[in-house]
Structure 1
Amino acid sequence: MSPPGSTTPEERARIKIDAALEASGWAVQDRDLMNITAAKGVAVREFKLAQGHGYADYLLFVDGKAVGVLEAKPEGHTLTGVEPQAKKYAAGLPATLKPPVKPLPFLYISTGSDTRFTNLLDLKPKSRRIFQIHRPETLAEWLSADPLDHWLKTLHAEGSGFYSAADATRPSTLRTRISTLPPLDQGHGGAGQFRNQIEAIVNLERSLKQDKPRALIQMATGSGKTRMAVTSIYRLIKFGGARRVLFLVDRANLGEQAETEFQSYRTPDDNRKFTELYGVQRLTTNTIGASTKVAITTIQRLYSMLKGEPDLDPTLEEEGAQLTPGAAPANAPLPVVYSSAYPPEYFDVIFIDECHRSIYSLWRQVLEYFDAYLVGLTATPAAHTFGFFNQNLVMEYSHERAVADGVNVQFMKYDIRTKITEKGSIIEAGPDTILKVRARSGEKWLKPDEDITYQGKDLDNSVVAPDQIRLVMRTFKERLRTEIFPERKEVPKTLIFAKDDRHAEAIVEIVRDEFGQGNEFCQKITYKTTGTKPADLIRDFRMRFNPRIAVTVDMIATGTDIRPVEIVMFMRSVKSRVLFEQMKGRGVRVIDRDELRSVTPEALAKTHFVVIDCVGVADSALNDTQPLERKPTVPLKKLLETVAAGSTDADVLSSVAGRLARLDRECSVEERRAVAELSGGLSLSSMTAGIVAALDPDEQVKKAREMFGLPASAEPSEKQVEQAAEALAKAAVAPLATKPELRKKLQELRSSHDQIIDHLSRDELLVEKTGFSKDVKDQARSLVSSFEAFLAENKDEIDALQFFYSVPHRDRLRFKDIKALAEAIQAPPRSWTPEALWRAYELLAKDKVKRASGQRLLTDIVSLVRFALHQKAELKPFSEEVRERFDSWMAQQANKGRKFSDAQVRWLEMMRDHIATSLEVEVDDFDYAPFAEAGGLGRATQVFGKELTVILRELNEVLAA
């Protein structure tokens, strides 16, 4: 029994429920004071129902009609067990009242803190947790929806799901309409899609039809996730009647890319542009237009909108820049309160692009605020990604499958290793040794009194060795035209990943020097780029000839679509598998030949890309864990201010720990002592360890058991673990949060530490560790072996192979036979291409393989097969062989005294070139280019007379032999 004057748990719950109803636009009334016309929505307390049905805690009226019930329960009460009671109330409306739908369709059960909702209009009603009761305007809109039979008739479609006659005549719901989505392969969206995109859409729709609230789509970088999402969104709007869809990105430039995809998308049924049919808005302000069907924004802006802020600084939409002192959260995830402008039901579906990122900690509650389906898109999911999406992986499409399907291009790894990169160096102190030192206050000079030894891991942190960068870039330049892309004269589009902004600066300067090029040739694209917007630099890199080389840190590491990139160079190491795959993925995208040649004119096609590993990142042990440093672009000062403002957010604390650990490695003994005095005896390393421990889930569970007196075998609740995590975090950062002088000292130390410029050490190339990796050569060897085995196994089955294996050769090889052979080797599971086979032979026998000077031709398969069967000692393009045979034949004719006129020579050369591309030339070919332009068969007969037939036979026999 509650003490006098106190409230019962149920009364406290009703106080919260009343406040939530009023915030959602409902007028809350006692039964005795009932006026159901007083507002759009009225919630009447303790409404007496028909005999045997008791009292409804709240009966909900919209536009004067009863539409639902709300059952109140005390805090901590489980809710799913109350569903039968709510359903009983929904069927117990007095007979004198005439609701629009019977039984009442909208059922809510709430403790004020936890609310569940069931919509009886759904085909298979299933309760779900919602942030807060829906607005009365929303319920009115749902009740006015077209019945299912009318909805399907307006679409000229038949439902694919099972529904009764009653279902067909009641207002249709989103879930009901989704259950009747037409099959994709019936002309409703499959056109222009890759097979993997179709598979993803079909699988996603299957999940939605099963009413699974979350779905994860894993598709390799560059395999068309965004286009797949646009197609899916189109179908959900047109056939599912989705009112509004959110496409969420984590950086502003990715929002621009998504907007472009929507703008260029043409619907498969009537070929109209998506944006002609539905409003698409990329948010640059905190307001969504009334006609917007698809909103594109960052999670940072979305959170700002939910908080009711008038606008958001655009710089805060870039990764890592979302923290502002004073507005920091008290705990993780970020706190979310109800927004009447953007209520939980505002979006029906949310697509989360690049969802491998921080949605699980900092932003999780922002997403869970909405009563919407959540669809995650990523190429590189980590373990917690699967957890967030309830292990509902509806599509798994690997890079290997994407390469086999022609959706991605494969990569080859090329290593450049130097002595300083691996082992560091020693700067010997001598009478003439003077070093330049770079400090935040400017440059100065240092005369060391003892030798300075540094390791490879110190490079571009405490020490910069310009000769190491210079040797890497010089080797890159030299090997580029001899090994990496031997057929190219111009530098392929190259993306270099640097450690930080200063490292990027040094790389840009040295690249320009080594290549002898100006500013436009090599550009830095980082968050600290000024003058030109980074987005404009990215656009130039993607669409213009210059820059040829872009140097970045994190800005282009994930998501950004730059299809022409053919080289990805790592001048920095990473420990995260997810981040490494994302960075490497900048090169995997396929590109149309004409689009590629518009920025790289001499390129024939993008057949592969090269990962140049200068630091051994691809050979190091990578893991799924996030690095300590999760806010690389947020200054230490801002991180410390955020902690001082009360934040215990996991990403913030993890970044602080990373900064302290790095600072500890740089500090002198005296500096460490000063820190300990200001912190109350704690060292930098102990503060770091304390923060890391506070973020450890096992430690949080242990602390929860201790705080709440639970036995070791008991599993604490999620709320108890959250409270324990907050307690641990507050204790760990207490010295930083409560001691301003300590924060000031840490900032001073960060600013004072110098970076030595080692101009004295000369680097050496580790020749034995430089070149294409062993894995690449092993793959080439495997491909060649498989190809040669395929030839032997199919010599009696494929006509073209019968020709090569027959001695003497039977008849003559025809173009249709070569085309059939090409289709056979390109068919799954082999998916081989002439270019890939040629490149494999080149890697294994470079001195015996000659590169094509022009476009790779289908007839090059002839040369490949002959080389594979050891019928030729050298692999050279078929067109080159034809030209050599032609020159030899012409010399033989001259020796025989057979002379040709200039006109005849021109015609002979046209025939030669036609044989090079088509294996033969026949009379019928004279009706087509280039012969038709020269006068066709009539002119050829005039030029050669009766010899024309003889000439054709001789050329076919000699040149295509």
Structure 2
Amino acid sequence: MTPPRGALTPEQAARQTIDTLLGAAGWAVQNLAEVNLHAARGVAIREFPLVEGHGTADYLLYVDGRACGVIEAKKQGATLTGVETQSGRYAQGLPASLPAWRRPLPFLYESTGVETHYTNGLDPEPRARSVFAFHRPETLAAWLIAAPAQGATPAVRADVIADAPANTAAGTFLARMQQLPSLIDDLWPPKPQAIAKLEQSLRENRPRALVQMATGSGKTLLAIVLSYRLIKFAGARRVLFLVDRGNLGRQTKKEFDQYVSPYNNYKFGEEYIVQHLTSSQLDTSARVVICTIQRMYSMLKGRELPDEDEEHSTEDAEGLFKDTPPLEYNPAFPIETFDIVITDEAHRSIYHLWRQVLEYFDAYLIGLTATPSKQTFGFFNQNLVMEYGHSQAVADGVNVNYDVYRIRTNVSEQGSTVEAGYYVQLLDRQTRRRSDWQLDEDFAYDPAELDRAVQTPDQIRTVVRTFRDRLFGEIFPGRTEVPKTLVFAKDDNHAEAIVQILREEFGKGNEFAQKITYRTTGATPESLIRAFRTSYHPRIAVTVDMIATGTDIKPVEIVMFMRSVKSRSFFEQMKGRGVRVINPADLQAVTPDARSKDHFVIVDAVGVCERDKTDSRPMDQKKSVPLDKLLQAVALGNVEPEVISSVAARLARLDRDIDDADKARVVAASGGYGLKDLSRRLVDALHGDFSAPASATAPQLAGEGGELRAALTEAAKPLSDPALRELLLRLRQQADMVVDTVTADHLIEAGFSAAASDRARSMVETFESFIAQHRDEITALQILYNRPTRAPLTFEAIKQLADSLQAPPYLLDESALWQAYAALDQSKVQGASRQRILTDLVSLVRYAMHQDNELVPYPERVAANFKAWLGQQQAHGKSFGDEQQWWLERIAEHIAASLDIRLEDFDAAPFNQRGGLARVHQLFGTQLPKVIEELNRELVA
């Protein structure tokens, strides 16, 4: 079929696009008759005839006056794999009289203008790969200069790799990967295995690899060590580390800078430049670039990104896009800018809107995630090189396990109804001003509206009171200090109410509970997070989602959910704030009465642990999407009809809710448009009644629906101004929230979940199986199983038993075991709320062996035995003076903690404060050895 006059054939359209791509990448595209090899560093010559039998190359590439590659052009829609033989034949057909870097020509491209394949003939086993566009001439020149002489065996010289810039290292990156030195870092599992498997995947030239590691098990450190080795020993020019929040970028920069090389004792930041991108200016000397995926997307689109947009999860905007606005090639950021792209929390950063960022660069992709989904595995070509789940991390001591404590109330389960005639309050979200409103009809609301459209202070208060009252008796028995607690709220207003009620109900001041959200003023969110991590105050931090992912706050022992979460992966990340292990001394520095962090507790006030969750966060109805997310989506280029119509409706509604003064502010901020005007522009564009000017983006939006997208883009253009968006959001926040001060909430149930009971039962079974299995091997068990022999039980023997129980795979200690027995039968367990000591293991073993009918703290048993011994002494006519009695009581306390007392112990506290060994000799005389021997025997019975 003959194309219409003036229309391009598919082949011509492909050539035209290829010409444009080459020009953008720095190539001078010339016809053969008009060749000037000195016109630019890189010259692409169209329709170049080769030696007989090799045909005509669609494009012959020259760099610095010498031929180096070819491009085979095909019409759009053509498949390219079968074309590789043709371009390979072209590479061998350069006339012998013409200069070439090497023969056959090493760089081969096949392209339709839409899809491009590239083969690097300098690699050990050249393999075609898909690339976004063409490489720049200076990049190919650098690779050619670095390549070994033709015919030579690629080799990696340690002196060259260690001291020279990456571009001068021998061979290609893939060639250098074949000879990496052994890993010598002393790392916790599973990082050494993961690094080894990632490097093996790279050696095999696999373009994508995925690592699944439990939250808190060190994904960032893995990325740092891998990046260091790839830069130092494989000559990687630059590594891009992508995060999805600004605060995670700041945290990651610190970790990179502080990593100490085991090869030369330099810190990473001293040896190589690490850049945290906070603007659009890339430091070309940086070897590692840390950046949010939102900022990199904006940079590639040629847009500025407001700082606040980096502090919102990538999921929020991504879910609004059905048809993703395409990325175009940006000459400021060539596709070869990065050799390696590492994306942290890959489950959130690789779909739909954001996957373009990863696929833009000609780089190996490495994904790190704790919660992969089916889409994650698919994107990374099912190349899961390491799988390390939460249970494995707990077994290795890298994570701690958790229990779920459920709080259910009437209002949180059923909502409420306020009858007509009662007064409720209206809260102006913007000014926080309250006014009374008498109901002329019943006002009903369901749980989903809580703390969004309706706030019920007594519901929050009931949850907080229950948490307060059960904290030291059930949730963390034996504690007197509130453990570091992270509370997730629904929004900023909800967080505000929670903080106030926490302070009131615990009877504490401002420092006790702090709000940490993007709207925190005064102290910066970073300083509050730092204080929460390293200082005594605050004890409780209330956030929306700022600390939900990645932020490392190891002392957290309680994660409290007062908001629901639909995304499985997001929930796992939020839950993961509690799994991180911490050195006991570091924990005690911020929580003085904590002994160690052996578990954490999820306090679930909304049933979040009971609901099914999806792998993603689809937003099926735009009416449920907040205005700020809609505006952000439009600012990022989303002009889908569902989004635009939702924005138009919100603007029209807002126009009815604000006064004339605020309407004038909108006109001034928008350059002359009122809210009705803005809404009408969007509606007209949707209905085809709005025409985009010729200068609009229509050429970029060619194809089916291109005219509509161009019109919608132009109509939404005023909303690209961050100042106008911020004003609209402030005005929208003036809409009132109903505060129900009438309803009194009531507790339905509070307690550990069935899953916690199952874990308790499993822990008890493991313990009882352990002592039965090792009764003849461990000294303490031998003695306790054979008590009629009256063999002395020593502290050293109990310490050996404790060490065996705490070692993998058991990871049991006396505190966890005591709580497990209490969870199964509290009627037979005493002292569950008290601090445990090591000698409580004696009571645990005796109870597990059924020698005792009740589980009694060991100090109480010793105290009872001491009282019986005193009675025996009195029955035989023996009495003690007040000072002797003091010494005997202290001896009993020492035996309760250490299982025996020896003469040298009297020179330690508290005995040395009363004269020590000399004084006890004076008081008991020749009877002292007999008294010690009897107490050591009788009290531990």
Query: Which TM class, normalised by the smaller chain length?
Result: 0.7 to 0.9
The structural deviation recorded for 1:348 is: 0.7
Q: Distance in 2 between matches of 1:92 and 1:927?
A: 94
1:449-488 mapped onto 2 (5 Å cutoff):
449-488=440-479
Q: Please tell me whether residue 543 in structure 1 is matched to residue 534 in structure 2.
A: yes
Compared CA separation, residues 654 and 581, structure 1 to 2 (3 A): farther
Find the counterpart in structure 2 of residue 760 from structure 1: 742
CA shift digits 1:730-783 (9 cap, x unpaired): 9999999999xxx9xx999976864332212222211xx211222212321232
SS at match of 1:528: coil
Q: Distance in 1 between matches of 2:242 and 2:903?
A: 61
Give the count of matched residue pairs. 882
1:514-533 mapped onto 2 (5 Å cutoff):
514-533=505-524
Find the counterpart in structure 2 of residue 506 from structure 1: 497
Task: Verify the 8 A CA contact 2:814 2:836 in the aligned structure 1.
Answer: no
Q: Distance in 2 between matches of 1:627 and 1:605?
A: 40
Q: Distance in 2 between matches of 1:529 and 1:582?
A: 22
Counterpart among 328, 341, 347 of residue 337 in structure 1: 328
Counterpart among 400, 407, 425 of residue 436 in structure 1: 425
Find the counterpart in structure 2 of residue 221 from structure 1: 215
Compared CA separation, residues 241 and 507, structure 1 to 2 (3 A): same
* Counterpart residue type for residue 791 of structure 1: I
The structural deviation recorded for 1:106 is: 1.3
Task: Verify the 8 A CA contact 2:325 2:638 in the aligned structure 1.
Answer: no
Q: Distance in 2 between matches of 1:780 and 1:845?
A: 11
* Counterpart residue type for residue 362 of structure 1: L
Find the counterpart in structure 1 of residue 672 from structure 2: none
The structural deviation recorded for 1:529 is: 2.1
CA shift digits 1:665-698 (9 cap, x unpaired): x9xxxxxxxxxxx999xx9xxx9xx9xxxxxxxx
Task: Verify the 8 A CA contact 1:219 1:378 in the aligned structure 2.
Answer: yes
Compared CA separation, residues 179 and 910, structure 1 to 2 (3 A): farther
* Counterpart residue type for residue 319 of structure 1: H
Q: Structure 1 stretch 197-206 or stretch 294-303: which is displaced more?
A: 197-206
Q: Distance in 2 between matches of 1:264 and 1:385?
A: 31
Find the counterpart in structure 2 of residue 272 from structure 1: 266
TM-score normalised according to structure 1 size: 0.81
Q: Distance in 2 between matches of 1:77 and 1:909?
A: 90
SS at match of 2:336: helix
The structural deviation recorded for 1:884 is: 6.2
Q: Please tell me whether residue 69 in structure 1 is matched to residue 70 in structure 2.
A: yes
Task: Verify the 8 A CA contact 1:316 1:322 in the aligned structure 2.
Answer: no
Q: Please tell me whether residue 495 in structure 1 is matched to residue 486 in structure 2.
A: yes
Find the counterpart in structure 1 of residue 159 from structure 2: 154
Find the counterpart in structure 2 of residue 82 from structure 1: 83
The structural deviation recorded for 1:449 is: 2.3
1:305-316 mapped onto 2 (5 Å cutoff):
305-309=299-303, 312-316=305-309
SS at match of 1:344: coil
Compared CA separation, residues 478 and 645, structure 1 to 2 (3 A): closer
Find the counterpart in structure 2 of residue 301 from structure 1: 295
CA shift digits 1:284-323 (9 cap, x unpaired): 22222232111111112212322344x5321121216999
Find the counterpart in structure 2 of residue 119 from structure 1: 120
Q: Distance in 1 between matches of 2:645 and 2:387?
A: 31
Counterpart among 384, 387, 394 of residue 378 in structure 2: 387
Task: Verify the 8 A CA contact 1:646 1:737 in the aligned structure 2.
Answer: no
Find the counterpart in structure 2 of residue 176 from structure 1: 175
The structural deviation recorded for 1:337 is: 2.2
Q: Distance in 1 between matches of 2:711 and 2:898?
A: 77
Q: Please tell me whether residue 29 in structure 1 is matched to residue 20 in structure 2.
A: no
The structural deviation recorded for 1:252 is: 0.6
Q: Structure 1 stretch 31-40 or stretch 933-942: which is displaced more?
A: 933-942
CA shift digits 1:564-590 (9 cap, x unpaired): 111111112222222222222221111
Gaps spanning 5+ residues in structure 1: where? 158-168, 667-677, 691-721
Compared CA separation, residues 76 and 516, structure 1 to 2 (3 A): same
Q: Distance in 1 between matches of 2:444 and 2:413?
A: 14
The structural deviation recorded for 1:201 is: 1.9
Task: Verify the 8 A CA contact 1:631 1:652 in the aligned structure 2.
Answer: yes
1:712-751 mapped onto 2 (5 Å cutoff):
none
Compared CA separation, residues 932 and 426, structure 1 to 2 (3 A): closer
* Counterpart residue type for residue 221 of structure 1: T
The structural deviation recorded for 1:212 is: 1.7
Q: Please tell me whether residue 283 in structure 1 is matched to residue 288 in structure 2.
A: no
SS at match of 2:529: helix
Q: Distance in 2 between matches of 1:133 and 1:734?
A: 31
RMSD value over aligned CA atoms? 4.6
The structural deviation recorded for 1:560 is: 1.9
The structural deviation recorded for 1:522 is: 1.4
Compared CA separation, residues 89 and 414, structure 1 to 2 (3 A): same
Task: Verify the 8 A CA contact 1:815 1:919 in the aligned structure 2.
Answer: yes
Q: Distance in 1 between matches of 2:510 and 2:744?
A: 27
Task: Verify the 8 A CA contact 1:799 1:817 in the aligned structure 2.
Answer: yes
The structural deviation recorded for 1:420 is: 1.8
Counterpart among 757, 761, 781 of residue 781 in structure 1: 761
TM-score normalised according to structure 2 size: 0.82
The structural deviation recorded for 1:245 is: 0.4
Compared CA separation, residues 731 and 569, structure 1 to 2 (3 A): farther
The structural deviation recorded for 1:957 is: 3.5
* Counterpart residue type for residue 761 of structure 1: T
The structural deviation recorded for 1:411 is: 1.1
CA shift digits 1:20-68 (9 cap, x unpaired): 2222122223333333344322223333334432332222222223222
Task: Verify the 8 A CA contact 2:72 2:110 in the aligned structure 1.
Answer: yes
Q: Distance in 2 between matches of 1:305 and 1:110?
A: 25
Q: Please tell me whether residue 262 in structure 1 is matched to residue 256 in structure 2.
A: yes
The structural deviation recorded for 1:372 is: 0.8
SS at match of 2:341: strand
Q: Structure 1 stretch 5-14 or stretch 634-643: which is displaced more?
A: 634-643
Q: Distance in 2 between matches of 1:506 and 1:453?
A: 21
Counterpart among 812, 825, 829 of residue 845 in structure 1: 825
Find the counterpart in structure 1 of residue 97 from structure 2: 96
Find the counterpart in structure 1 of residue 197 from structure 2: 203
* Counterpart residue type for residue 782 of structure 1: S
Compared CA separation, residues 932 and 388, structure 1 to 2 (3 A): farther
Task: Verify the 8 A CA contact 1:333 1:649 in the aligned structure 2.
Answer: no
The structural deviation recorded for 1:344 is: 0.6
SS at match of 2:510: coil
Q: Distance in 2 between matches of 1:952 and 1:843?
A: 38
Task: Verify the 8 A CA contact 2:503 2:512 in the aligned structure 1.
Answer: yes
Counterpart among 521, 546, 551 of residue 555 in structure 1: 546
Q: Structure 1 stretch 61-70 or stretch 564-573: which is displaced more?
A: 61-70
Compared CA separation, residues 267 and 898, structure 1 to 2 (3 A): farther
Compared CA separation, residues 508 and 806, structure 1 to 2 (3 A): same
Q: Distance in 2 between matches of 1:176 and 1:390?
A: 23
Counterpart among 311, 326, 339 of residue 318 in structure 1: 311
Q: Distance in 2 between matches of 1:308 and 1:204?
A: 33
The structural deviation recorded for 1:435 is: 2.3
The structural deviation recorded for 1:371 is: 0.6
1:574-589 mapped onto 2 (5 Å cutoff):
574-589=565-580
Task: Verify the 8 A CA contact 1:460 1:503 in the aligned structure 2.
Answer: yes
Compared CA separation, residues 909 and 776, structure 1 to 2 (3 A): same
Compared CA separation, residues 804 and 649, structure 1 to 2 (3 A): farther
Q: Structure 1 stretch 416-425 or stretch 949-958: which is displaced more?
A: 949-958
The structural deviation recorded for 1:134 is: 0.7
Q: Please tell me whether residue 570 in structure 1 is matched to residue 550 in structure 2.
A: no
Compared CA separation, residues 41 and 633, structure 1 to 2 (3 A): farther
SS at match of 1:416: strand
Q: Distance in 2 between matches of 1:53 and 1:549?
A: 74
CA shift digits 1:464-487 (9 cap, x unpaired): 221111111111111112211121
Find the counterpart in structure 2 of residue 371 from structure 1: 362
SS at match of 2:103: coil
Give me the identity figure in percent.
53
The structural deviation recorded for 1:237 is: 1.5
